[in-house]
Amino acid sequence: MPDIDRAEFEQRLAELIVSGGHTSSTRGEDDYDPLLILLRSAASHAARPVLCDYVQSTVIPSLADYFHDDDCARERAALVLSLLLGITVLGPMLGVEPLEIPLSADALAPPNPRIELILSAMLQAAADAAPAAHEQDADKAGRATL
């Protein structure tokens, strides 16, 4: 993650996910998809606590640091991760169109530019949400329910 310029974060990440985990290069025999490994292992009662601990102690804090660890960086990191995992479940795992991506190592999926654009905007919104805006929205929501 540190090698992705913050100004290009959402576009590069959307491109990577929509294209099936690659950009212009082909997947090698040693390549693996860590999101698929995470999702497939989550159903295991033995693996679940280990995965949860890893995500909460390593993945989310790394993303939060990347987002400059402000007051809502953990929430933004969790939202970005949930978008990526959701795309992975619906696309490669379930084959839901228009998110379907072939899992075959020798099949390169050309990215769907509309999906990439929409995902990029969603990632941008989650990554760039200002803490002050969240606090104002939370205050409004709290007042509305009283």
Q: In terms of Cα–Cα distance, which of 60, 58, 57, 37 is closest to 47? A: 37
Provide the whole-model pTM: 0.70
CB atoms within 10 A of CB 66: 18
Q: What tokens appear for 75 in the block? A: 């929430």
From 7-16, 45-54, 112-121, 136-145, the region with the lowest mean pLDDT: 136-145
Q: Any idea which of 22-26, 34-38, 73-77, 129-133 has the lowest mean pLDDT?
A: 22-26
Residues 65-112 have pLDDT tens digits of 888 867 889 999 999 999 988 888 888 778 888 888 765 545 555 668
Per-residue pLDDT, 49: 92
What size, in residues, is the chain? 146
Domain limits, the chain: 6-23+31-145
pLDDT at 27 over 50: no
Residue 42, token pair as written in the block: 């989550």
